[in-house]
C-alpha cells in the first residue's frame, strides 16, 4: 500500500518549521538586524533622504563616497525586496555560515557586495566618458549578496530539492536559474521604460559573479591550516 500523499508534505512542513525556529548564526543575525533597522528607518522621510544620499551607492561622478561600496547593501526601502533578501540570508546564508565559518562567510558576502559595487561604478562611468546622456539610479539593498548566496548553494547543492515559492518542488540549481531568469525579465522591463534602474539591475548580477569567483578562488587555492600540537593532557597513541 502506497504512502499517503499528505505525509511527505506534512514532513516537509514540519522540517521547515523546525528550521525556521532556529536562531541564525552571528554574522547572518547581524546582517538581518542591520537591514531590518534600516528598513524601518527608511519609512521616516527625513531619515530616508539621508540614507539615500549617504548610504546608497551613487554613480562614480555624482555623489559617490568610498564607504558606499559596502553600506548600500544594508539600505532597504521596499518591503518585498527586503523580505526576499532576508529569506535568502536566513535560510541559505545561515547554512553557508555554518559550513564555512564566520570568517569565510564574511569574505564571501564582501566579495559579492564589492563586485556588485565595481560593476555599478564602471557602468555609471562609461556613459559620461562616451558622451552619452544615460541616467542611473543609485544602487541599494542586499539583492547582490542574495544573488551571490543563490549561486553558491546552487553550486554546492545542485540536486537538492527545495520548495520554490513554497509550492513547486525543484532542484537548487533550477531554482537559481529561475530566480536569475525572473531578474533578467525585470531588467529588460527597466530598459524598455527608460528608467535609471538599468545600472542597478546589472550590478545585482555582479553580486552573483562575485560569489562565483570567490568559490573558484577557494577551489583552486584552498585555505592553509597549520597543524596544531595536541593538548599536553592527551596521550599520543602509536
- pLDDT tens for 57-98 read 999 888 899 999 999 999 998 898 899 999 999 999 999 999
Per-residue pLDDT at 227 exceeds 50: no
Q: pLDDT band for position 56 (50/70/90)?
A: very high
Q: Give the bridge partners for 154, in sequence order.
A: none
In a domain, 9, yes or no: no
Tally of domains in the chain:
1
Residue 234 lies in a domain: no
Q: Is residue 229 part of a domain?
A: no
Q: How many residues does the chain have?
A: 238
Whether 7 maps to a domain, the answer reads no
Alpha-carbon span 128 to 192, nearest angstrom: 21
Cell of residue 207, nine digits: 553580486
Q: What is the mean pLDDT of residues 186-198?
A: 73
Q: Specify the pLDDT at position 79.
A: 92
Cα separation, 214 vs 129, whole angstroms: 30
Domain coverage including residue 130: 23-220
Res 186: pLDDT: 79
The pLDDT-based confidence of 39 (bands split at 50, 70, 90) is: very high
CB 74 within 8 A of CB 56: no
> Which among 42, 54, 127, 52 is positioned nearest to 82, based on CA atoms?
42
Q: What percent of the chain has pLDDT over 70?
A: 80
DSSP 8-state symbol, 57: B
Query: Is 163 strand, coil or helix?
Result: strand
Q: Is the pLDDT of residue 190 over 80?
A: no
**CATH assignment of the domain containing 69:** 1.20.1540.10
Residue 68 falls inside a structural domain: yes
**Least confident span in 24-33, 191-200, 209-218, 228-237:** 228-237
Cα separations in angstroms, 133 against 77, 128, 136, 194: 27, 7, 10, 12
What local confidence, expressed as pLDDT, does residue 38 receive? 94
Amino acid at each position: 500500500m502506497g504512502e499517503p500523499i499528505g505525509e511527505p508534505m506534512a514532513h516537509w512542513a514540519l522540517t521547515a518549521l523546525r528550521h525556521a525556529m532556529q536562531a541564525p548564526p552571528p554574522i547572518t543575525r547581524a546582517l538581518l538586524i542591520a537591514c531590518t533597522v534600516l528598513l524601518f528607518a527608511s519609512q521616516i522621510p527625513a531619515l530616508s533622504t539621508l540614507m539615500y544620499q549617504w548610504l546608497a551607492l551613487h554613480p562614480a561622478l555624482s555623489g559617490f563616497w568610498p564607504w558606499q561600496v559596502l553600506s548600500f547593501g544594508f539600505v532597504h526601502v521596499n518591503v518585498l525586496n527586503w523580505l526576499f533578501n532576508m529569506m535568502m540570508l536566513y535560510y541559505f546564508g545561515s547554512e553557508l555560515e555554518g559550513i564555512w565559518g564566520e570568517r569565510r562567510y564574511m569574505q564571501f558576502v564582501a566579495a559579492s557586495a564589492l563586485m556588485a559595487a565595481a560593476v555599478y561604478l564602471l557602468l555609471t562611468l562609461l556613459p559620461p566618458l562616451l558622451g552619452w546622456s544615460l541616467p542611473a539610479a543609485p544602487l541599494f539593498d542586499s539583492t547582490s549578496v542574495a544573488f551571490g548566496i543563490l549561486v553558491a548553494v546552487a553550486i554546492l547543492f545542485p540536486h537538492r530539492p527545495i520548495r520554490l515559492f513554497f509550492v513547486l518542488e525543484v532542484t537548487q540549481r533550477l531554482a537559481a536559474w529561475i530566480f536569475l531568469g525572473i531578474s533578467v525579465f525585470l531588467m529588460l522591463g527597466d530598459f524598455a521604460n527608460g528608467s535609471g534602474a538599468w545600472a542597478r539591475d546589472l550590478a545585482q548580477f555582479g553580486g552573483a559573479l562575485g560569489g562565483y569567483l570567490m568559490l573558484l578562488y577557494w577551489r583552486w587555492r584552498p585555505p592553509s591550516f597549520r597543524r596544531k600540537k595536541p593538548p599536553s593532557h592527551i596521550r599520543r597513541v602509536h
